[in-house]
A and B are shown apart, each in its own frame.
Chain A
């Protein structure tokens, strides 16, 4: 496989043509996995013997938390591509992904608080994972604010890429906070612990995997739409600037 062929998609026109051709397939797959997974999780899974029906919150909370971290990782990769190779599409893809990541972080925080109240007896605790997630959300806000505040696209891409590198520390901390500090209310992930002590019950495993796939596909569809919008907006700004110059 020739990896160098990937760089062809750094051409905005080629990127838009290819992604717009793929979009309907991803959209249909998203509908199937996202809606199917949530219906499966909500209607067809048993209540947990300890957590009761609150276990159903997992089908939204876990995928959104995973996406919140992984979207930042995607932004990190595309920011690095921008820093190293100066491809505009990669910087614009990072910009397009940020609001989706921010919404995923809010969903993870909100559903975590709603789940935590009956289980832990509190909406919020300054627990390592919760706190690092809150900081990650602030980084998302800062990242979007920086893009909006700087008029020159290249300068904005440079500065937001640096911010993305710094924020990656908190993306990693959000993921591994429970392991690093081994304290707090939030438990460690159980999805990869099938066959180990205290694993995720098999009746929840498959619907959760389908929900995660649904959230990933949802992200792919939305990031394609939003990246193409950013590419068009950038072209429009360039044309308007040319018009103003005469």
Chain B
């Protein structure tokens, strides 16, 4: 294992931090929208069946 980041520690750690925050935000937003749209569609489908 090599964790001697030396004088560039700030650059390396901030690169990883920025990237991971962006990636996790994208995943979270995608999953949230997926769940929301699925629930809304189910609701519309049920209403459609009830109304014939």
Tell me how many residue pairs across A and B have CB atoms closer than 8 Å: 94
In A46-101, which residues have CB < 8 Å from any B CB?
46-47, 52-54, 56-57, 60-61, 64, 99-100
Alpha-carbon distance A140/B33, docked complex (angstroms): 20
Alpha-carbon distance A48/B33, docked complex (angstroms): 42
User: What are the interface flags for B1-41 relative to A under an 8 Å C-beta threshold, 1 for contact and 0 otherwise?
Assistant: 11111111101101110110011001100110110011011
A232, B38: Cβ atoms closer than 8 Å: yes
**Range of interface residues on chain B?**
20 to 34
**6 A–B pairs (Cβ distance < 8 Å), ordered by A:** A42-B16, A106-B22, A107-B18, A226-B34, A233-B41, A239-B44
Q: How many residues of A contact B (CB 8 A)?
A: 39
- The residues of B that contact A57 with a CB separation of less than 8 Å are 11-12, 15
Measured CB to CB, the closest approach of chain B to A107, in angstroms, equals 5
B15, A61: Cβ atoms closer than 8 Å: yes
A236, B18: Cβ atoms closer than 8 Å: no
Knowing A103-B23, A225-B34, A229-B37 are in contact, say whether A114-B14 is a contact too (CB < 8 A).
Answer: yes
Residues of B bordering A, CB below 8 Å: 1-9, 11-12, 14-16, 18-19, 22-23, 26-27, 30-31, 33-34, 37-38, 40-41, 44-45, 47-48
Measured CB to CB, the closest approach of chain B to A170, in angstroms, equals 21
Alpha-carbon distance A112/B46, docked complex (angstroms): 50
Alpha-carbon distance A45/B2, docked complex (angstroms): 6
Determine which of A61, A107, A236 lies in contact with B37 in the assembled complex, contact meaning CB atoms within 8 Å: A236
Besides A46-B2, A107-B22, 9 other A-B contacts (C-beta < 8 A)? A43-B1, A53-B6, A53-B12, A60-B19, A107-B19, A118-B11, A225-B31, A228-B34, A236-B40
Alpha-carbon distance A69/B17, docked complex (angstroms): 22
Alpha-carbon distance A42/B27, docked complex (angstroms): 22
